[in-house]
Amino acid sequence: MNKKRYANYDNVDNTKSFSDMRRWSKERRTKKKDLSVQIPQSDKKDVERIYINRNEPSITWVGHSTFLIQIGGLNILTDPVWASRMGFQRRLTAPGIPIEELPKIDLVVISHGHYDHLDFSSIKKLRGNPTYYIPVGLKSAFTKRGYQNVIEANWWDEFDHEKVKLIFVPAQHWTRRGLNDTNTSHWGGWIIENHSKSIYFVGDTGYFRGFKEIGEKLTIDTVLMPIGAYEPEWFMRDSHINPEDAIKAFLELNGKKFIPMHYGAYRLADDTGPEALERFLKEWGRLELPDETLSVLKIGETLWLE
């Protein structure tokens, strides 16, 4: 029986040929990148405070696409990955909080099934008995490992969990965990709402018309937006948004706060974390966007929401 294959808006295809891979490999060998400078760790981590916190809304960047979000009295993790390696590549920056020092987790939201966003060895170490909100098609990967509190989502599905509303929204990407399961599960972002606050965890995506649609349908305060893994752009642009388009998407979303993510932990493409951030900040300045709208977190840093 053939499994369902999921697709992007406008049927944008992320499939790359062997020739494309060979071209990228050849290009990479000609580039010299400085990997001696990395994204810094925060020197003012609020680990003890967030461990006991159940009242103040906060966002802590663990690294890559992993955040601890505290809102509505719940501890929520996005794409929990503490892995020290990704394929043949070692992790470049340590997670901002050791997984053993996390509070008990109530909810986990997963954007898609790629290994740098879904790591079962990390999930196994989480304290508490979380409910997992995941894209449609991934449930069997959880249940066969013994996880029962698992809820699948299609694009635009909404869920109420205690004092929080979750909305699974579109992204432009793809996924695979094995040889024959390409796009047999979906991908997307999660909007987390509580009273007057909303946080949009974008997940992994290229730039697409969905940002404008999401901005028209929903009110968004804080946007956790990827800015890295875009080089070479001829290869990556359908799957990974570049820094300039990340800002364009943020403006289409009418967001109030931009927090960059998905850079500096793993070398998934040819750009480095510092390069991605420098290019992002240059564009932010060129557009003369307000400083108070931007929060560039150091690894392990917590933003306390007013």
pLDDT along the chain (306 residues), means of 10: 86 92 91 89 96 96 98 97 92 97 98 98 97 98 97 98 97 94 97 94 98 97 98 96 98 98 95 97 98 98 94
Domain-located, residue 82: yes
- The answer to whether the CB of 66 falls within 8 A of the CB of 80 is yes
Domain-located, residue 2: no
Q: What is the CATH number of the domain that holds 131?
A: 3.60.15.10
Residue type, 109: V
Domain-located, residue 248: yes
- Kindly give the pairing relationship between strand 66-71 and strand 74-78: antiparallel
Task: Please list the helix, strand and coil fractions of the chain in percent, rounded to the nearest 5, in that order.
Answer: 25, 25, 55
Domain-located, residue 26: no
Q: Which residue has the tokens 């929401």?
A: 305
Domain-located, residue 4: no
Token representation of residue 267 = 């070398």
Domain-located, residue 159: yes
Q: How many domains does the chain have?
A: 1
Domain-located, residue 61: yes
Distance CA 51, CA 145 (A): 27
Q: Which domain holds residue 125?
A: 38-304
Alpha helices for the chain (secondary structure H): 18-30, 47-52, 120-123, 139-143, 210-217, 233-236, 243-253, 273-286
Domain-located, residue 9: no
pTM of the entire predicted model: 0.96
